[in-house]
A = this chain, B = another copy of it.
C-alpha cells in the first residue's frame, strides 16, 4: 500500500509516520527544501513513541521518498492526504492537481480543521475531510466528512493503521472536536486577557481536574456519573439552569491584537520556556503513550483502539527452531534510574511470551473463561545484557517439560542478536473455581505433547536448573 502526503509540515509528517510505521510506502510531496528535515524530525519522535503503545511489533517500515513534484508522489497511491496551509485558495489549487494525478480508486483526504467538504469540493475533486489530531502518529481520532461511500472506505483503511475514524454525518464549520476546542480557546483567552488566570494556571485547572476525566470518558458520560443513579435527566435538571447564569453572558470574542498575542506568548514562555519544543514533544509523547497504555487494561477509548489494532498485527515466526512468542519495542516507561530496562519488565516480557505459548496450546481466552488456566509457581531470571528504550525484543519459548499439570518453560529474551536474559519458569494447571491444581483438557495436553516432542532432542539450555549465585 502506498500513501502520498502532500504538504510536509507537522501534520503531514504525522500522517507520513502513521502510514510508514504501519508498513505503507510513503511519498512526500513538498517543494520546501526543508521538508525532508522536518519530516525526519517527526519520524524520530514517532519511531520511539508509536511502537511503544503495542505489546507486539508493528510490521516492517515501508519505503519513504521525497518529491518536489506533486504528480510523481501521488501516482499509484491508495491514499493521498492533503495537509497544505489552511487557506481555501491554496487548497483549491492543490486538490485538482491531486485529483488529476491520482488513480480512480485513490482516497483523497484533506487535513483541514475548518473547511466543509462542500467548500473543498467546489472544484470537484472528490476529496473528503480527514481531519487528524496532533500528534497524528499517536492520537487515534480522525474526523471524516463527505461522501458516505468514500468515508466508509476511508474508515476501513484508517482502522488498519490503528486510527479511530469518526464520521461526521452533517457538514459544519470546524466539524466537531474543533468546535469544542474553539469554545474553550475563546473562554481561556478572556480569562488571560482579564487577568483572572495565567496560561499556566489555566493549564493546571485542566490537567489536574477535568482533563483526566475527559481522556477516558469524555463530557457526557462523565456528567452521567455526576447525575448518579437518577441519570442524565437528573443531571440536566441540576446543571441545565446554569446555562442562563451570568457567566454565560461572556460570550463575545476578545479583540485579537498584538497586546493579546504578547500577553499569551509572554506567559507561555514563563510557563514552558525552560523546555525546547522538541523536549516538550517528547514529554508529551511519553505521557500520551503511558496514558494510552494505561487505558488498554479496561479497553476504554484509545486503549481499546490499540488493543484491537494489535490483534490484527502479523504473527512472528521461528528463531533457532523455537517459536517466537514475543516481538516488541521497549517503551521508555519500562526503563528506570539506571537508564536501562528495569528488571520487572524482563519478567513482563517473559510473562507475555508464556501467555502466547498458552494460546498456542489452546489454553486461550475461551479456555480460561471455561474455568481453567495455568498459574506460574516459580521463575528464575538471569539478566545477561542491558536493554534500552526503543530496543526491539524477540522472545523464544522452549518447552523443557510438559506432562500432567506441569508446564516447564525456558524463555530467551533477545535484543537483536544479543541474548539479554533467560527466564526459566514453572507453571501448574489450575482449576479457577477451586484454585487447586488439576489436569488440563485432553486437547491442550495433546498440543503440549507435540511441543514436548519437538523440543525433546534440544540440549538443556545454559541457565536452566540454576540457583541464585551459582557459578556459570
Flag whether A101 is at the interface (Cβ < 8 A): no
Nearest B residue to A369 via CB reads B337
- With contacts A212-B139, A337-B373 taken as known, whether A224 is within 8 angstroms of B179 at the C-beta atoms is no
* Contact pick for A468, options B174, B206, B231, B425, CB 8 Å: B425
* A405 interfacial by beta-carbon distance below 8 Å: no
Q: Are A337 and B368 in contact (CB under 8 A)?
A: yes
A166 contact set on B, CB distance < 8 A: 201, 204-205, 208
Q: Shortest beta-carbon distance, A137 to chain B, in Å? A: 13
Residues of B within 8 A of A211 (CB): 211, 214-216, 218, 301
**Roughly how many angstroms separate A297 CA and B133 CA in the complex, as a whole number?**
24
Chain B residues with Cβ under 8 A from A347's Cβ?
343-344, 347, 381
Q: How far is the CB of A236 from chain B (nearest CB, A)?
A: 5
- Is the beta-carbon distance between A207 and B217 smaller than 8 angstroms? yes
Decide if A173 touches B245 in the complex (CB within 8 Å). yes
From the candidates B134, B174, B337, B468, name the one contacting A408 in the complex (CB within 8 A).
Answer: B468
Q: Which residues of B contact A277 (CB under 8 A)?
A: 224-225, 227-229, 231
Chain B's closest residue to A339 (CB) is B432
Known contacts A188-B220, A236-B265, A376-B383: A302-B208 contact under CB 8 Å: yes
A143 touches B205 (CB 8 A): yes
Once the chains are docked, how many angstroms separate the CA of A214 from the CA of B214? 8
Residues A183-242 near B (CB distance < 8 A): 183-189, 191, 194-197, 199-222, 224-229, 231-233, 236-242
Q: Are A435 and B386 in contact, CB atoms less than 8 angstroms apart?
A: yes
Interface residues on A, range: 35 or more
Chain B residue at minimum C-beta to C-beta distance from A409? B468
Alpha-carbon gap, A141 to B342, bound state (A):
32
Given A184-B184, A188-B219, is A176 in contact with B205 using a C-beta cutoff of 8 Å?
yes
Contact, CB under 8 Å: B348 / A344: yes
CB closest chain-B residue, reference A246: B173
Say whether A468 contacts B380, CB under 8 Å: yes
Query: By the criterion CB–CB under 8 Å, are B287 and A298 in contact?
Result: yes
A177 located at the interface, meaning its Cβ lies under 8 Å from any Cβ of chain B in the complex: yes
Which applies to chain A's interface (DSSP): helix, strand, loop or mixed? helix
Is the CB–CB distance between A176 and B164 below 8 Å? Answer: no
Q: Which of B231, B295, B375 contacts A338 (CB 8 A)?
A: B375
The verdict on A442 contacting chain B, using a C-beta distance below 8 Å, is: no
Complex CA–CA separation, A244 to B368 (angstroms): 58
- Bound-state CA distance A375–B207 (Å) is 36
Taken residue by residue from 272 to 309, chain A's Cβ proximity to chain B (1 for < 8 Å, 0 otherwise) reads as: 10001100110110111011111101101110010000
Segment at the B interface, from A59-67, A251-259, A316-324: A251-259
CB distance from A464 to the nearest CB of B (A): 7
Residues of B within 8 A of A207 (CB): 214-218, 300-302
A-B contacts besides A211-B216, A212-B215, A224-B272, 13 pairs, CB < 8 Å: A141-B208, A173-B246, A179-B191, A183-B186, A186-B251, A212-B291, A215-B291, A221-B268, A232-B269, A251-B251, A379-B468, A381-B381, A408-B469
21 contacts between A and B (CB under 8 A): A170-B196, A172-B194, A189-B243, A199-B220, A204-B218, A206-B218, A213-B288, A228-B277, A229-B276, A229-B277, A232-B265, A233-B262, A283-B298, A283-B300, A290-B298, A294-B294, A376-B383, A378-B469, A380-B381, A465-B468, A466-B467
Give 7 closest A-B pairs by Cβ, nearest first.
Answer: A203-B218, A141-B209, A290-B294, A211-B214, A215-B215, A141-B208, A173-B247
